[in-house]
Amino acid sequence: MTTQPITATRPVSSADPFSYDVLEDPLPFQADLRERGPVVYLEKYDVYAMGRYAEVQAALTNWQTFQSAAGVGLSNFRYEKPWRQPSLLLEADPPHHDAPRAILTKILGPREIRRLTESWAADATELVDTLLANGPEFDGVADLAAAFPLRVFPDAVGIPQEGREDLLPYGDHVFNAFGPPNELVEKGAQRVAELSASIAAKCSRNELSEDGFGSQIWAAADRGDITEAQAPLIVRSLLTAGVDTTVNGLAAVLYAFATNPDQWRRLRQEPALARVAFDEAVRWESPVQTFFRTATRDVQVGTTLIPEGQKILMFLGSANRDPRRWVNPDLFDLNRDPSGHVGFGFGIHQCVGQHIARLEASTILNVLAKRIRSIEIMGPTRRHHNNTLRAWESLPLRVQLA
Ligand code: OVM
């Protein structure tokens, strides 16, 4: 009897998940990926991909086998990103990951951030009232989804006013750079030196206000919980991971409600659903679509043997719409329980800022639900293409006041 090499039966795809068409609408590619098998070899990039919920969730939980420390982008960042030292959180695993993670878990914990509730509600009210005073038509991205996080989050971290306009383009480039070196990355590369210098300058102790997350991170260095060299990189993580993600999470929930008016009526009847609505939008749209892991050993998934050292692309967005896990996955539905979605990741790397994201979203949704009877799309919507993010450039909205 001869034994076939196990890779002879592995599912393969020649598709490019970072192509224009897939970035414009990733759903057909993802459905195809899930149908091909639990893990699929992507010829174009010599990587593996997981698109089904069960395997994505299991792999994200198994950091020993599917490591982050070798980089969570396509390439080995250690050689290819001279402009960015690895993140101490995203691109690390235990034991190095533990102290930075523990510090942020505390600083960004649900209890710790409750002190922000009142002032954020006042900021949201003022932003929405000023916007609506200009008339019933506005851009859901620029005027709301970007405007609100940019109003509250940099203050919460404690960075100066100057240079805040660099936050979104810097994040955009970092998220692009997790993908292949395509035209999105080439375009961003023109400003990367300037942008990374600008962000780095905001992370030093003397630039940060006394009462923000940034100073709390430096206080952890004073206590000896982390080193002084680690502190600015942990502040950088907040500035990198905390802006583009929440902007596109808020855009996702606005788009979801604008295209599902019955769900908006439901939220208005029961405002306590704002948090569920946001998590359902994060499941439905998955603002962070993908991250890579690296196999630390030969590992079999389905009929495929993934060799040690290979990159595996985890499709959070696809797992969040896997019909094997979700009933009517393409429906944005406040009646479902979206918990267990992998839109914030899963396991030890699960988004440490998720309570901030939920507080931002529920704060703005509560104000909108009070003021606005209905939301509709009033013109052509435009996606913003990014190798990692499912993002929006423009959402022209028209609202009817309550
Ligand atoms: C970081 C980082 C950067 C981008 C994304 C992210 C979603 C983290 O620098 O730690 O998590």
pLDDT tens for 72-83 read 999 865 556 889
CA of 26 to the centre of ligand 1 (A): 22
CA of 157 to the centre of ligand 1 (A): 15
Angle of the 274-285 helix axis to the 261-269 helix axis, nearest 10: 150
What mean pLDDT is predicted for residues 123-150? 98
Is pLDDT larger for residue 43 or for residue 3? 43
CA-proximal residue: ligand 1, atom 5 (nearest)? 241
CA-proximal residue: ligand 1, atom 9 (nearest)? 237
12-401: what fold? Cytochrome p450 (1.10.630)
Q: What is the pLDDT of residue 273?
A: 98
- Choose the residue to mutate in 174, 291, 387 for probing ligand 1, maximizing ligand atoms within 8 Å of C-beta: 174
- Choose the residue to mutate in 68, 84, 90, 199 for probing ligand 1, maximizing ligand atoms within 8 Å of C-beta: 90
CA-proximal residue: ligand 1, atom 4 (nearest)? 241
CA of 130 to the centre of ligand 1 (A): 32
> pLDDT category, 98, cuts 50, 70, 90?
very high
Q: What is the pLDDT of residue 78?
A: 53
> pLDDT category, 227, cuts 50, 70, 90?
very high
Element (H, E) at 392: strand 390-394
Q: What is the pLDDT of residue 75?
A: 84
Check if 276 has its Cβ closer than 6 Å to any atom of ligand 1: no
Q: How many CB atoms lie under 10 A from the CB of residue 221?
A: 18
Q: What is the pLDDT of residue 82?
A: 85
Q: Which atom of ligand 1 is nearest to the CA of 91?
A: 10
Q: What is the pLDDT of residue 344?
A: 99
Check if 235 has its Cβ closer than 6 Å to any atom of ligand 1: no
Check if 92 has its Cβ closer than 6 Å to any atom of ligand 1: no
Check if 241 has its Cβ closer than 6 Å to any atom of ligand 1: yes
Check if 177 has its Cβ closer than 6 Å to any atom of ligand 1: no
120: left (phi over 0), alpha (psi -120 to 50) or beta: alpha
Q: What is the pLDDT of residue 5?
A: 56
C-alpha span between 63 and 57 (Å, rounded): 11
What does the CA dihedral 34, 11, 344, 285 come to, rounded to 10 degrees?
-40
Residue partners of 63: CB distance under 8 A and separation at least 6: 93, 94, 347, 348, 349
pLDDT over threshold 60, residue 7: no
Q: What is the pLDDT of residue 9?
A: 75
pLDDT over threshold 80, residue 8: no
CA of 221 to the centre of ligand 1 (A): 20
Question: How does 379-393 read in b/e, with b if 16+ C-beta sit within 10 Å?
Answer: eebeebbbbbbbbbe
β-pair type (304-306, 382-385) = unpaired
pTM for the complete prediction?
A: 0.97
pLDDT over threshold 90, residue 3: no
CA of 237 to the centre of ligand 1 (A): 6
CA of 79 to the centre of ligand 1 (A): 18
312-368 tens-digit pLDDT: 999 999 999 999 999 999 999 999 999 999 999 999 999 999 999 999 999 999 999
CA-proximal residue: ligand 1, atom 8 (nearest)? 241
CA-proximal residue: ligand 1, atom 3 (nearest)? 241
Domain spans, the chain: 12-401
- Choose the residue to mutate in 96, 157, 195, 240 for probing ligand 1, maximizing ligand atoms within 8 Å of C-beta: 240
Q: How many CB atoms lie under 10 A from the CB of residue 236?
A: 23
HSE of 348, CA atoms in CB hemisphere, 13 A: 22
147-168 tens-digit pLDDT: 999 999 999 999 999 999 999 9
152: left (phi over 0), alpha (psi -120 to 50) or beta: alpha
Q: Which atom of ligand 1 is nearest to the CA of 240?
A: 3
pLDDT over threshold 90, residue 1: no
CA of 72 to the centre of ligand 1 (A): 10
Q: What is the pLDDT of residue 4?
A: 55
Check if 288 has its Cβ closer than 6 Å to any atom of ligand 1: yes
Please state, rounded to an integer, the average pLDDT across all residues of the chain. 96
What mean pLDDT is predicted for residues 17-28? 98
Is pLDDT larger for residue 76 or for residue 278? 278
CA of 352 to the centre of ligand 1 (A): 10
C-alpha span between 208 and 230 (Å, rounded): 15
Check if 39 has its Cβ closer than 6 Å to any atom of ligand 1: no
Check if 90 has its Cβ closer than 6 Å to any atom of ligand 1: yes
